[in-house]
Structure 1
Amino acid sequence: MKKIIFMGTPDFAVESLQALIDSEKYKVTAVVTQPDKPVGRKARLTPPAVKVRAEEEGLPIYQPENIQEAEVVKRLLDYQPDLIITAAYGQILPLELLEGPEFGAINIHASLLPKYRGAAPIHYAVLNGDPVTGVTIMYMEEGLDTGDILAKSEIKILEEDDTGSLFAKLAQVGKDLMLETLPLLFDKQLVAEPQDESQATYAPSISKKQEKIDWKQPAHCIAQKIKALRPEPGAYTLVEGQRFKIWDAEAVEEKTDLSAGTVCQVEKKQFYVACGEGTVLKIKEVQPAGKKRMPAVNYLNGAGQFIEKGWTFDVESSK
């Protein structure tokens, strides 16, 4: 039975961890995840999803602030792992950990590398309107997602997909690809292929600046942003200086000569906003400041009764 140290943090990694726990071929000797973090308005200290699952299984858990610390490295290598597996862990491993296990360290990455190296590959695949995405398993190096590729699995991005739905799909894809890859890896039947550096792109964490809607962009770009930032952190505009999140919207075929950010039509269940290049966005679900998410019809019948043709949202470009 091969001994494995598993490193991961969000829900994306839980499927792979569970598959290892359930397997009779592998033994998870320790789990490494990020420290608990404050979440929500009340800043309640919340454990990562991987920690919750590991606790349920009674596995040893480590949450180092810095995985590079010598004492942390020593404690992990004391488990004498055959392999380290990471999945959306969130820190770059030191060379001692990468080279310590007999079979090294591999990463389950939610993109088709070398495209979208970095922390937010799923967000960027949706944001850019990509037709496909997938999972890559590669050897880990000291660089950011630069290691040689062991396996890939591709899926289509459907029109209705957002970042949340793709996270769930790719978690399954990653688990399945890991289970297919591990026997071949341990039997030394895989030939790793170097990444094509000329094709490398990056997907850094979503910034606060990117969360704000720029109404001067075309409607289809804004619709993609809304899907890319759903379920978190959410795309917003401003209403009377307060954040106003838009959770569901659709670019429509109609054109308008109204300025970007201006309401161009109000119907019973939704309203329409002028965007860049004369395009129009239909708003279907919103969240006013201090309120819960709601269908646009609820907002229009309540706090949003002032919304009418000609009313204008904040129109400054994202800053």
Structure 2
Amino acid sequence: MSRPLRVIFAGTPVFAAESLAALLASRHDVVAVYTQPDRPAGRGRRLTPSPVKALAQEHGLPVFQPSSLKAPEVQAELAGLEADIMVVVAYGLILPRAVLEIPPLGCLNVHASLLPRWRGAAPIQRAIEAGDQESGVTIMQMDAGLDTGDMLLVRRTPIAATTTGGELHDTLATLGGQALVEALDALTGPGFDATPQTEAGVTYAAKLSKAEAELDFRRPAVELAARIRAFNPWPVAWCALGGDRLRLLMARAASPDPGEAPMPPGTLRDHGPDALRIACGEAGDQLLEVTRAQLPGGKPLAVSELLRARAERLAPGTRLGYTDEEATP
């Protein structure tokens, strides 16, 4: 098949909109867009279109927003579009087997991990949280399993010691759009030798929750630093500071100075020039250096700026992770 492909695109968030934008700039023909129903957003809780819907409307594309793809009439409507292939990127709805079998070339998925590692809902953040050295995108032929289909194309990118969840998201969104167009172009020519996923190395990326964003300073410094970066910009790692919450946005594990005695986990040591130095680990003998944070009612700031403005809230000896009553001996 040498002609441009007729493509149905299914996706919802900003990550998916990047793939749709790349597809619209390609030679292929997007015949329709499927996205989640409009959701309440903002202070007024007004119904708001998804980023994918907004982009589709800018380009005058037909938009479909079923709450499920299981109904026969919804499947018949999709089949009537007579597409060659369906592309799915962070859509948020399960595709029944009947839908997977409608397009002659099946359904492709752009997944933000190096499969089979990090199947599931939050592969970007879980890769950083786990200390992975690299991530990437996988173009996968969808089947009935959870991210279990054969792999057509893999593109990699390193994860640096300062990479945040937001930064990796943006990198992979761009990489995913590029890889998607490359895959579709190949399908109009010689195609691919699909590679089945192995069972070795399978991990699952559980959905993020606000509840897991509260830090426990008894955990190792390396683990805490990775979680802080992974959860930036959402759900944002935090700890109690008296009766308030201190939001932590960037951190690194460090070695205590020679001769520094262990302190109770969560205790602020003397400040460094650019960091809050926090005792952590089960024995309080490890060191977490936080370089960017946000106090209630304030803006995210480099710690050097934060200390100039609000040093009294972050005095050495302050116990983080405790209310005022809990921190009192």
- TM-score (norm. length: structure 1): 0.91
Give the drift of 1:262. Answer: 0.7
Letter in 2 for 1:18: A
Which of 50, 54, 57 aligns to 1:55? It is: 57
Q: Report the residue type matching 2:197 in the other structure.
A: Q
Alignment map for 1:18-167 (pairs within 5 Å): 18-24=21-27, 26-40=28-42, 43-167=45-169
1:182 to 184, 188, 208: 184
The aligned amino acid for 1:21 is L
Equivalent position amino acid for 1:264 in 2? R
Residue deviations 1:240-281 (CA, integer Å, cap 9, x gap): 343321112222222550011011113565421111151112
Per the alignment, in what secondary structure is the counterpart of residue 160 of structure 2? coil
| Residue 259 of structure 2 corresponds to residue 257 of structure 1 | no
Q: Deviations over 1:17-54 (max 9, x none)?
A: 11221222x11011111223334555454332211211
Q: How far apart in 1 are the matches of 2:263 and 2:47?
A: 46
Q: Which deviations, in whole Å up to 9, do the C-alpha atoms of 1:134-187 show, x marking residues without a partner?
A: 111111112110111111111211223211111121122212222222132234
- Structure 1 residue identity aligned to 2:319: T
- State the distance in 1 between where 2:74 and 2:311 align: 54
* 2:297 maps to 1:295: no
> Once structures 1 and 2 are overlaid, which stretch shifts more, 58-67 or 4-13?
58-67
Inter-partner Cα distance in structure 2 for 1:172 and 1:299? 33
Alignment partner of 1:251: what SS? strand
After alignment, is 188-197 or 42-51 more displaced? 42-51
Distance 1:282 1:315 in 2: 18
Moved more, 179-188 or 94-103: 179-188
> Which consecutive unaligned segments of at least 5 residues does structure 1 have?
none
Counterpart CA distance in 1 for 2:294 and 2:123 is 26
Q: Is the 8 A contact 1:299 1:305 kept in 2?
A: no
**Given residue 159 of structure 1, which amino acid in structure 2 is its aligned partner?**
A
Stretch deviating more after TM superposition (99-108 or 3-12): 3-12
Map 1:8-19 onto structure 2 (within 5 A).
8-19=11-22
CA RMSD of aligned residues (A): 2.1
Distance, in Å, in 1 between the alignment partners of 2:213 and 2:46 is 23
Letter in 1 for 2:262: D
CA contact 2:241–2:322 (8 Å) conserved in 1: no
Q: Given residue 312 of structure 1, which amino acid in structure 2 is its aligned partner?
A: R
Is the CA contact 1:133–1:157 (under 8 Å) kept in the aligned structure 2? yes
Q: 1:274 aligns with which of 265, 275, 279?
A: 279
Paired letter, 1:10: P
**Pairwise CA distance, 1:211:** 1.0
CA–CA separation in structure 1 for the residues paired with 2:201 and 2:25? 37
* 8 A contact 2:10–2:33 mirrored in 1: yes
Which residue in the other structure is 1:308 paired with? Answer: 315
Q: Distance in 1 between the 2:272 and 2:6 partners?
A: 60
Contact 1:260–1:315 (CA under 8 A) maintained in structure 2: no
Residues 216, 315 of structure 1: 8 Å contact kept = no
Distance 1:225 1:136 in 2: 24
Of the three residues 4, 7, 13, the one matched with 1:4 is 7
Task: Output the amino acid matched with 1:283.
Answer: V
- 1:77-123 per-residue CA deviation (whole Å, 9 max, x = no partner) reads 21111100011212221112100010000101111111100111110
What SS does the aligned partner of 2:288 have? strand
The runs of 5 or more residues in structure 2 that have no matched partner are: 324-329
User: CA offset at residue 298 of structure 1?
Assistant: 4.2
C-alpha contact (below 8 Å) 1:215/1:315 kept by paired residues: no
More displaced 10-residue stretch of structure 1: 285-294 or 115-124: 285-294
What secondary structure, in the 3-state scheme, does the structure 1 residue paired with 2:120 have?
Answer: coil
Secondary structure at the counterpart of residue 172 of structure 2: helix
Aligned residues: 315
Q: Is the 8 A contact 2:217 2:224 kept in 1?
A: yes
Overall identity of the aligned pairs, in %: 38
